[in-house]
Structure 1
Amino acid sequence: MLGFDFKEIATIGMVLFAVIDIVGTIPIVVDLRQKYGHIESEKASLAAGIIMITFLFVGEELLNLIGIDVHSFAVAGSFVLFFLAIEMILGIRLYKEEEASSASIVPLAFPLIAGAGTMTTLLSLKSQFQTINIVIAIIFNIILVFIVLKSSAKIEKMLGKNGLGVIRKTFGVVLLAIAVKLFAANVKGLFH
């Protein structure tokens, strides 16, 4: 039925959940809420969803326009994911975000939720999975993002600093394994 596959949706969903790392960004969300008072969860979630789905459909054409093939982008993406995973596991910051001026679209929807890692992952996933399954996984993740943003204060109190750290490191290891798999699956395509 149109390539609809629960196993694929679950796999893609887990990959996107690890890349988006909404639980790991709770400390940033809390900081933004303290700076700007209110976080527009609906606006941020909707904007991130639109950015991700749009990029899923026009990202490849955009790459073709500038002369980059999907395998090259996927290999580059595996490096981005690798470094994101290293950040999560070791608790270091390699990528420095610009200072925010408002908390709804920038930096929450982009680049925190739908950032470079997410975009790269989407195109890499597109080379391996059915588009319909990716779209469904994006929608599930956006719903999760919305729920987490809405209840970020409760989650922070419930998990505490140590709980958030454990979750972040666990998803870092998952992301590292995904980066290695992505690299292995696409590096052969560079030489054909």
Structure 2
Amino acid sequence: MSSSDSPSATDTLRAATWATGSPSSSAAPADRPQTASEVLGAGGFDPSRLHPMAQIGDKLDYLLLDDAKISELPGASTALPSRGWSDDLCYGTGTTYLSGLVLGGVWGLREGMRRPLGVGGARLRLNAVLNAMTRRGSWMANSGGILALVYNGINSSVDAYRGHHDVYGGMAAGAISGALYKCTSGVRPMLISSIIMTSAAGGWSYVKHSML
């Protein structure tokens, strides 16, 4: 037989008939597409054959993550529920950064509107406002974010060491955070910053517990 007389691959596929082995699917019209259940059910789909080394048995296993579990540390039940130190660190830092950005922007807007200009003009006033908002907003956001990051990290470490959470631990974390923030400016700025952060941390901890 010459090569010209041999059937091509296209002709072979067109003439072939496909059987799934399922009685319900064999009675279906040839032009109807098969569903996923028919295809998988026809071959006796077995999850254990996906990979023998996985040892998953005849059923698929699911990974159960207990993400909604609240922190069980004594005293940690406040008006703002937390799942642990990572929640306090991430949410506390992010919230403080955004709050500082908004407050700094408002401060810069007020400063830019009141700043005297040598030459009047809307474009010069807009430029002064944008410069002031950018300067004040970024400064307050960065400063607040750094303070919140250090405070939450120290506060979580203090709570883990003491085995419980209370107002005094938050005040101690605030004092240390304030002192570290101004540690390069001298003793007096360190004391002032430490006192301010201690008062703020104590008030914040008291409000969280009293609102529960």
* TM-score, L = length of structure 1: 0.27
Question: Higher relative contact order by CA 8 Å / sep ≥ 6: 1 or 2?
Answer: 1
Q: More helix per residue: 1 or 2?
A: 1
Q: TM-score, normalised by structure 2?
A: 0.25
